[in-house]
């Protein structure tokens, strides 16, 4: 190999490495086993009152923000070793350690004020009125209604008013 062709090959290698470095954690995760597909997407809730959300999967990545709301539902969109990429109901994304997540399901009231009802019917008596952003612990869900508890009030919520469930998912 001539010195000139070695130099060209070296430059191409540098450009390639720079592209990977500039792409940041996303490229590294893809290359090293991060899983991200529709089948792996699922919901969980935050286990603690304070959860650091990082820019990448590891403590070497800076903390983007801190969740301060235990039981808040989050969507898990990817995995890398013991780290989970999550998205909240407002679309914010980041990485948290799996130890900060719980399998206990919860939902958040989305959109507008929603009535918690005594039975799963639009005509059932109201138990409470829940404002957008209220977190409710999920007991069960069918195609149209979810049994949930919010601030010590238990009852039924229309599924269409909630964030924290996959389309068509039932919870028992």
Local confidence band at 40 (pLDDT 50, 70, 90 cut-offs): confident
> Could you tell me if 22 and 72 lie in one domain?
no
Q: Are strands 51-54 and 63-67 parallel, antiparallel or unpaired?
A: antiparallel
Show the domain range for 47: 33-104
Q: Residue 141 has what pLDDT?
A: 96
Q: What is the dihedral of CA 122, 127, 133, 134, to 10 degrees?
A: -140
> Could you tell me if 150 and 100 lie in one domain?
no
Contacts of 108 (CB under 8 A, 6+ apart): 72, 73, 89, 133, 134, 135, 136, 162, 163, 164
Let me know if residue 169 belongs to a domain: no
> Could you tell me if 97 and 120 lie in one domain?
no
pLDDT surpassing 50 at residue 164: yes
pLDDT surpassing 50 at residue 11: no
Let me know if residue 120 belongs to a domain: yes
Query: 73: domain CATH number?
Result: 2.30.30.40
Q: How many domains does the chain have?
A: 3
What is the rounded average pLDDT of the residues 138-151?
96
> Could you tell me if 40 and 99 lie in one domain?
yes
């Amino acid at each position: 190999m001539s010195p000139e062709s070695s130099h060209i090959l070296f430059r191409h290698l540098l450009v390639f490495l720079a592209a990977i470095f500039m792409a940041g954690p996303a490229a590294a995760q893809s290359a090293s086993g991060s899983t991200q597909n529709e089948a792996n997407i699922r919901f969980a809730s935050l286990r603690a009152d304070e959860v650091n959300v990082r820019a990448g999967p590891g403590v070497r990545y800076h903390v983007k923000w801190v969740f301060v709301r235990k039981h808040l539902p989050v969507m898990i969109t990817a995995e890398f070793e013991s780290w989970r990429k999550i998205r909240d109901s407002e679309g914010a994304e980041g990485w948290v350690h799996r130890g900060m997540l719980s399998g206990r399901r919860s939902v958040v009231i989305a959109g507008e004020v929603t009535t918690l009802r005594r039975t799963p019917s639009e005509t059932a008596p109201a138990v409470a009125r829940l404002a957008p952003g209220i977190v409710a612990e999920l007991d069960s869900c069918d195609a149209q209604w979810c049994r949930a508890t919010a601030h010590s009030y238990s009852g039924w919520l229309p599924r269409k008013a909630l964030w924290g469930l996959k389309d068509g998912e039932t919870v028992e």
